[in-house]
Structure 1
Amino acid sequence: MKKRIYITRRLPEEAVAPLREQFDVRMWDLEGESVPRDVLLEEVASVHALWTMLSDTIDEEVFERATELEVISNLAVGYNNIDLQAARERGIIVTNTPDVLTETTADLTFGLMMMTARRLGEAERDLRAGEWKSWLPMGYVGMDVHQATLGIIGMGRIGEAVARRARGFDMNVLYHNRTRRHESESMFGFVYSDLDGLLEKSDFVVLLAPLTEETRGMIGAEQLAKMKKTAILINVARGEMVDEQALYEALKENRIWAAGLDVFAKEPIDLNHPLLTLPNVTTLPHIGSASIQTRLAMMAMNREAIANVLEGREPKNRVT
């Protein structure tokens, strides 16, 4: 009997087809929708591999049902949606997709910085709505990106890729990280800073750290109060890292200048969320790695990891 695989979102057939030759593959097939919880719990009861998305909560309840499960492969770098302790206790391998999305996510991060600083979203919306009546000397004026100070919180691979792009804009780069990146400091001139110093000096504060108990809620009212009134907060990491109510109040009262957000504490964000009422907030629907080339490469990594485990080989990108 072929081993069974369940995929929790509809994926391109070209990404899935190679597995069908060797395994019994089932996939949630409603475009644009996550698999319902009750369906997921039913499906996992008989599968050997789960191909999951960051939006899937894989917790103790899932593991109790998944008695045959050998591997979970997550279509993301992050894996905070999976109870790793529960997986370890049952000998279930968890894999992710690091590295392959680094440059694409850095592109998006820098694009969101520029979009927010130069009010590109607001200007484009007004043009389409017929609100652009004439050229104005101070119409749609924003903040310069070139020669500004960029503060990166979380100097991993993506952080370094963003910082390298900043050099082309003659930006000064500060960073805060759990560990110093001495090689990057000497090679590129990046400057280490404590968190308070980074917040106080940066024109752009960019969140790129993983979500941990240490980083959850790390940007709240106290931290926002340390930022310049002309500063811009960019979050492409995880929404839970920011106190969204505190951010709303800081933006509404013009205590910071703007925010660009690709991630939110709850996704999709509710349309009545107060942040969506503010003109100085630029929002995107969690598209950091969303290029055709990168997403297909991520899927190929998942597919290879699943096949390796089910055929008795050690997978790459095992989460340890």
Structure 2
Amino acid sequence: MLRGWKAAAMATVLGAAGAASAHEFTCEKRVQVQGEGGPKDEAPRVTKFPATLRFHYTLRNVHPKAESVADLVEDPLLAPYGFGAPFATPLALGVGRSGEATFELKLASPEACQALAASDGRADGNFDSALRVKWALGETQCAARVTCCEPFVDCEMACPPEDPYCTESASGARSTSRNAGFFKVHEQALQQCLGFGYLELGVARVESLEQALGLLWASPGLDRNGGVRSEADAGRFELAREALVASCNERLFGASAKRGRVLDEALRALRSGGEGAERLMKELRSQNEAGTREPLPQGFDAGRATPAHAASIAADPTEPGRP
């Protein structure tokens, strides 16, 4: 069911004086986030991905006696997505007539939503998409705002149907957890995890914040000297990354018995060079993702996200030749 409509309209009249010429067109723009609810007096909020945004435009001729002709109708924010011109122009509407147009935009991930939010020139997690209508003696605009969730914190990713390890539909209470994306940008949370002691992850012994960030930021396919890792080494690197995250989830938020068993198995495989890296990596990743919607424990302060600084101090700790 399509819900969550939010409309905001503003009008600016330019050009000649006179009521008839100043109000020949009015417009309305609404945005609906498919499957999302929320108070009608707030901007729609995108929290579940993949997400579909439905843009709905209404353009009305309000001249009391004559046809009105729009020479320009544009929505610049949506132009890169193929919908910069919702109506073909020139657009003529008779007295009392209106025109409607719709457009659906799919957002695959929280990062895609944030990229759209930044495209309006303000990196604030919101995007204000404005429709501009211009005719011979005036102009009007109408806009609608959409808010994106904060990546890695309050976003929900649906399980892809082809992923047998995904636990989205698991029943029962879930433990709080955070994924690799959360820890790679929250240095304070990661430092608290390391406060419990170093982590021996087979491919590396992680003792410092810089080393932990290195494991989270480095490319699985390239070693710290720029050389190409073998497929097996790349797989073990990804397993070590998820094991780091799972270890921090266990240290900071506690762990279910099942999560603990999988982590123990993964750590044994990393230390011995055993088989099953891909299976274990997928299981750990699913478990790390499973509790991301749960609130952080009361009193736990993760600190603010600092992606630029975190990336700048990251140092790949992996050592070529380790089992």
TM-score with structure 1 setting the length: 0.30
Of structures 1 and 2, the larger Rg is shown by 2
